[in-house]
Amino acid sequence: MPEVSFADFQKLDLRVGQIVEAEKLEWSEKLIKMKVDFGDLGQKQVLSGIFEWYQPEDLLEKQAVFLINLPKKYIKDEPSEAMILTSENEKENQVSIITPLGKVTNGSPIS
């Protein structure tokens, strides 16, 4: 695996956000559309292919870690403005969302 410099790591804006809306996109077998609250940074729409492991109603009000300074990406006509971070256990075909251990302020940076 290639190494990244500390300067490159510092370019990543990782933040805690709270999922305030979540729904499965009818035209996709995998995608969940979420509205995520980042506190003073506002809300962003996030699309993620996590439907195999998470139901939309189970995500509501949960906090998770997101990469928020990616360019906006469109899937069909739906924008995705950030990326939720997950950990994958390939042996058990399981994906887990990365979450803070306790409640933190929405928009808190990860360092």
pLDDT of residue 93: 82
| φ/ψ bin of 39: left (φ > 0), alpha (ψ from -120 to 50), beta (otherwise) | left
Q: Are 17 and 63 in contact (CB under 8 A)?
A: yes
Q: State pTM to two decimals.
A: 0.93
Q: Could you report the per-residue pLDDT of 14-44, keeping only the tens digit for each?
A: 999 999 999 999 999 999 999 999 999 999 9
pLDDT of residue 35: 98
Q: What are 101's two structure tokens?
A: 């251990």
Q: Which CATH number fits domain 12-97: 1.10.10.10, 2.40.50.140, 3.40.50.2000, 2.60.120.620?
A: 2.40.50.140
Closest Cα partner for 32 from 71, 68, 70, 83? 83
Instruction: Kindly give the pairing relationship between strand 32-37 and strand 14-24.
Output: antiparallel
105, pLDDT greater than 90: yes
pLDDT of residue 46: 98
Domain extents in the chain: 12-97
Q: Could you report the per-residue pLDDT of 46-88, keeping only the tens digit for each?
A: 999 999 999 999 999 999 999 999 999 999 999 999 999 999 9
91, pLDDT greater than 80: no
Q: For residue 90, name the pLDDT band (cuts at 50, 70, 90).
A: confident
What residues are paired with 97 via a beta bridge?
86
